[in-house]
Amino acid sequence: MIETLHSLYKKKHNIFLKTQKQIIGIRHASRVAAKILNLLCKEVRPGITTKELDLMSLELHKMFSAVPAPLGYGQPPFPASICTSINDVICHGIPDNRPLVEGDIINVDVTSIVDGYYGDLSRTVVVKSCSEDAYRVIEASYNSLKAAINVCRPGAKLSQIGNEIQKVADSLGCSVVHQFVGHGIGCHFHEEPAIFHYANRPKVDILMQPGMTFTIEPMINLGLSEAVVDKKDQWTARTTDGSLSAQFEHTILITSTGHEILTLIDAKDAYEGVPDLFIDQKTH
């Protein structure tokens, strides 16, 4: 029965339902990525540069015997080990020498490869303090990700994810970016299916099945939803109206009864408490 579903999903949708062995590997890579992200987020403060965060990420990946997936990825090759997206940058921001200042909001996106398996997550944090508007767009992204995760279970439609995200974004007066999507992940960085973050009704609405692993990573803007990619570096995606953008991302596994968020750290490592991160960098 399971064998049949595995081959059916592969044949019909090019989706790889994962085996138990692969799940163990992806869970481990995801936890390593989560741990690295937490350690990086603790360093976010006025004065630090995203280049320094990138160097730390390289060190941390070495410490955990992991490889940062972004480095050298794509065309042109992504030049850093993490994405750091500040204020109006929606995603794929490249670490540089600009010191962070109080009031900035920054998304840090970590994808780690361990033993050939991939885990991918990101979080938006506040640099010391931020405006109410900034808080609102962060909240919209965070709450929409939580709402989307909550519908994930066997038999649920993939389109429910976007519908949940859209509802939360609308209720907070924010917009959902269409141009970038979540994705299958695990044995490769980006696998099928594409996960749409906006309200949608696809012709073929794929049903979630145990063993599916994918990311949900809503990019939410305060203003217009359009994104424009930097002509020079061909990576940095910004809002067209200069408005703020926020994003959170987790890697999700569909289990036989519901879902598991793979990119979570042990409670003893704390720091999953996102509201704390909005305000300040507590030690736990």
Residues that bind ligand MF3 (CB under 6 A): 70, 73-74, 78, 83, 92, 109, 111, 120, 215, 217, 235, 249
Instruction: Provide the 3-class DSSP secondary structure of residue 279.
Output: helix
| Residue 135 interacts with which of Co ion, ligand MF3, none, CB < 5 to 8 Å by class | none
Residues touching Co ion: how many (CB under 5 A)? 5
CB of 110 to Co ion, least distance (A): 7
CB of 210 or CB of 262, closer to ligand MF3: 262
Strand pairing partners for 246? 220
- Residues 6 or more apart whose CB falls under 8 angstroms from that of 104 comprise 86, 87, 126, 127, 130
Candidates 104, 105, 87, 85; CA nearest to 96 is 85
263 binds Co ion (CB under 5 A): no
How many CA atoms, within 13 angstroms, populate the side-chain half-sphere of residue 145? 27
| Residue 92 interacts with which of Co ion, ligand MF3, none, CB < 5 to 8 Å by class | ligand MF3
Distance CA 65, CA 113 (A): 9
215 binds Co ion (CB under 5 A): yes
Tokens of 199: 């309200």
CB of 77 to ligand MF3, least distance (A): 8
CB of 177 to ligand MF3, least distance (A): 12
Distance CA 76, CA 78 (A): 6
CB of 186 to ligand MF3, least distance (A): 13
54 binds Co ion (CB under 5 A): no
| Residue 145 interacts with which of ligand MF3, Co ion, none, CB < 5 to 8 Å by class | none
Among 54, 88, 104, 120, contact with Co ion (rule: CB under 5 A): 120
**Binding string, residues 159-198; x marks residues near Co ion by CB under 5 A:** ----------------------------------------
CB of 247 to Co ion, least distance (A): 8
Instruction: Provide the 3-class DSSP secondary structure of residue 62.
Output: helix
| Residue 74 interacts with which of Co ion, ligand MF3, none, CB < 5 to 8 Å by class | ligand MF3
CB of 122 or CB of 209, closer to Co ion: 122
CB of 122 or CB of 175, closer to Co ion: 122
CB of 94 or CB of 126, closer to ligand MF3: 94
b vs e for 57-89, b when ≥16 Cβ sit within 10 Å of the residue's Cβ? beebbeebebbbbbbeeeeeebebbbbbbbbbb
| Residue 247 interacts with which of Co ion, ligand MF3, none, CB < 5 to 8 Å by class | none
166 to 32, 94, 118, 196: CA distances (angstroms): 30, 28, 27, 10
CB of 14 or CB of 131, closer to Co ion: 14
255 to 23, 44, 58, 214: CA distances (angstroms): 10, 34, 32, 12
- Residues 6 or more apart whose CB falls under 8 angstroms from that of 154 comprise 207, 208, 209, 210, 254, 255, 256, 257, 258
Residues that bind Co ion (CB under 5 A): 109, 120, 122, 215, 249
